[in-house]
């Protein structure tokens, strides 16, 4: 699929989340989660990283957020507070 041709971005100087980011999030009661923000392959899991697309409910929440931003999201059947800790 398209992962072989996907061009990674350098997020060292980018503050806000956009497609291509690897996002690390501290999730209330669940610990650290990593989400890869891609334009395709939503729901796939590679090692301990889940793929999220911009069209997904979580993707819509993440787009434009930055490190330190906090949002609520339903994970494992419960609304949980999530804080963005890294954008790579």
Closest CA to 25 of 55, 63, 70: 70
- Helices and strands (DSSP H and E) totals, the chain: 1, 6
Please give the pLDDT value at position 14: 53
23: three-class secondary structure by DSSP: strand
What are 33-87's pLDDT values in tens digits? Answer: 999 999 887 777 777 899 999 999 999 999 999 999 999 999 989 999 999 999 9
Parallel/antiparallel/unpaired status of strands 49-52 and 31-37? parallel
CA 23/CA 85 separation, integer angstroms: 8
Residue 43 gets which letter from DSSP?
Answer: T
Which structural domains are found in the chain, ordered by start? 2-87 (3.10.50.30)
Q: Work out the end-to-end distance of the chain between its first and last CA atoms, rounded to an integer number of angstroms.
A: 23
pTM above threshold 0.85: no
Per-residue burial over 61-73, b = 16 or more CB atoms within 10 Å of its CB, e = otherwise: bbeebeeeeeeeb
């Amino acid at each position: 699929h398209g992962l072989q041709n996907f061009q990674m971005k350098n997020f060292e100087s980018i503050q806000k989340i956009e497609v291509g980011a690897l996002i690390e999030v501290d999730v209330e009661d669940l610990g650290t989660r990593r989400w890869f923000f891609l334009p395709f392959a939503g729901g796939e899991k590679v090692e301990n990283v889940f793929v999220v697309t911009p069209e997904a409910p979580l993707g819509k929440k993440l787009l434009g957020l930055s490190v330190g931003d906090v949002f609520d999201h339903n994970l494992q059947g419960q609304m949980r507070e999530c804080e963005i800790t890294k954008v790579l």
